[in-house]
Amino acid sequence: MSTKKITSALISVFHKDGLEPIVKKLNELDVKIYSTGGTQQFINDLGIDVIPVEEVTDYPSILGGRVKTLHPKVFGGILNRQHNEGDVTEMKEYNIPQLDVVIVDLYPFEKTVSSGASEADIIEKIDIGGISLIRAAAKNYTDTICVSSMEDYQEFLDIISENNGEISLTDRKHFAAKAFNVSSHYDSAIFNYFNQDHSISSLKISEQNGKVLRYGENPHQKGFFFGDFEAIFDKLHGKELSYNNLLDVDAAVNLMAEFNDEAPTFAILKHNNACGIAQRDTVLEAYNDALAGDPVSAFGGILISNVEIDEAVSEEIHKLFCEVVIAPSYSEKALEILKRKKNRIILVQKEIKMPETTVRTCLNGVLVQDKDMKTDRLENLTHVTDNKPNSTELNDLIFASKICKNTKSNTIVLVKGKQLCASGTGQTSRVDALNQAIVKANAFNFNLDGAVMASDAFFPFPDCVEIADNAGITAVIQPGGSIKDGLSIDYCNANSMAMVFSGIRHFKH
């Protein structure tokens, strides 16, 4: 049947917000309503007649509510094929009521997990009856419509209101797709909870929040973002974020996470890499010195601060064309200034736990790995040269290492006074990366005498430390681990350079 007039409905929901108008409209349309437990009481309180499911099944809700609707008379009413003579005969023989509409949602499993509840409470929030009803009603969409989420209440209400209780096959199939989206996401969440140790080599990723982007990396590519952007940011102003904006914002957030709870730190990123970053006593000083790192690349960049952006720094930011500004908060005057550019995207970053795995497509599959959560710290360094770095150099080495970890490999990062002087990024040779960084630092008039160098991986030869030494660099941090580490150590010892090993490689491809 292409269009179906609804005459009966089963309603059993956990979330009752927005349900009242639907119940009233169904009653107005003379739809017979069946229900259970709290939903039944909710409908009764509206003064609307409702038939308890127990009267259909001749069985009460048992096992503490674990079994309420799991009965042939319920599922027969949902799954029967009204065009099938055998089904019609059996419906009459066993006195099974037809159920045209199933409105049901699921226990909040994911919210219960994220709340830190006990395992016993989490297990009780694994829905059995609800998920079965959803699958049954969605499977039989030719005869039944399934409303599986409170997010769909208004759409369903609009359909039955505008069409006097008639629902097209197209709409029923559309709601079936929504239902299977709900059920598959729910099952994925349960599996991932039970497989937290990854003992089962199976990947289940489900994101229900999706957004169509203007285009992908380039205008001829389609682009989509799947995720809960609003859980991480409040967007206060500006145009819609693009595919490339989102990649840069991700890089900015990961970089600035290295400097949480530290002195004011400001970074400017372009194409996922920092082109400027500095840490100072004030956010204005930090911004100015970050911009000095590469004022050319900063044009059209992504700006991020680890502290509130005030009026003074916003006046300086306003002089620069930038795509996005990110901060934990803004002063009222700062927002007024930044909003003067209508397309400038202004984001407030919320405190939220970020994913600890990374996923990317590869060949005809995907690669999944633990996120690089290790940050080099002073207490973990091994001093391998006769000359030891002084306290200023040590602090700069850690600062440089944090930037290096968040820069595309192969990379070399040069820092002086907690300011990025330059970096060589994404080079096929570590020597090329170093030479690129030195040339860039000189182009922006940085004096590298007393600067430090960070490398994302070990030096197989002493060429890099020799080039760094000739440029004025006095201290080096690298993972170590090459069978020829001794060559670099010997050069440093012979030329009064200090070098420390972190023991941790930070490739980023």
Question: Which residues carry out catalysis?
Answer: 139, 271
Q: How far apart are CA 380 and CA 18, in angstroms?
A: 55
Tell whether the torsion through CA atoms of 180, 88, 76 and 46 is positive or negative. Answer: positive
Peptide bond into 493 cis (omega under 30): no
How many whole angstroms separate alpha carbon 86 and alpha carbon 80?
9
What gap in Å lies between CA 329 and CA 309, rounded to an integer? 7
Distance (Å, whole) CA 509 – CA 505? 13
Q: What are phi and psi of 279, to 5 degrees?
A: -125, 125
Among 229, 278, 224, 221, residue whose Cα is nearest residue 402:
278
Q: Which two tokens stand for residue 285?
A: 């000083």
H or E segment and range at residue 277 = strand 273-279
> Rg (Cα) of the chain, in Å, rounded?
31
Q: Which two tokens stand for residue 18?
A: 């927005």
At residue 255, φ and ψ (nearest 5 deg) are: -65, -50
Distance of CA 172 to the CA centre of its chain: 32
Q: State how beta strands 166-168 and 3-5 pair.
A: antiparallel
- For residue 2, give both structure tokens: 């292409």
Per DSSP, the three-state class of 172 is helix
Tell me if 72 sits within 8 A of 117, measured CB to CB: no
Residue entry with tokens 């309180």:
45
Question: Helices marked H in 225-300 — which ranges?
Answer: 229-232, 243-256, 283-292
DSSP string of 97-132, one letter each residue = PP--EEEE----HHHHHHTT--HHHHHHTS-SHHHH
DSSP state of 216: S
Q: Which runs of E-coded beta strand occur in 100-246?
A: 101-104, 145-147, 166-168, 210-212, 224-226, 233-237
* Whole-Å CA distances, 145 to 11, 68, 84, 204, 344: 12, 21, 18, 27, 44
The DSSP code for 374 is -
430-443 and 463-471 helices, crossing angle to 10°: 10
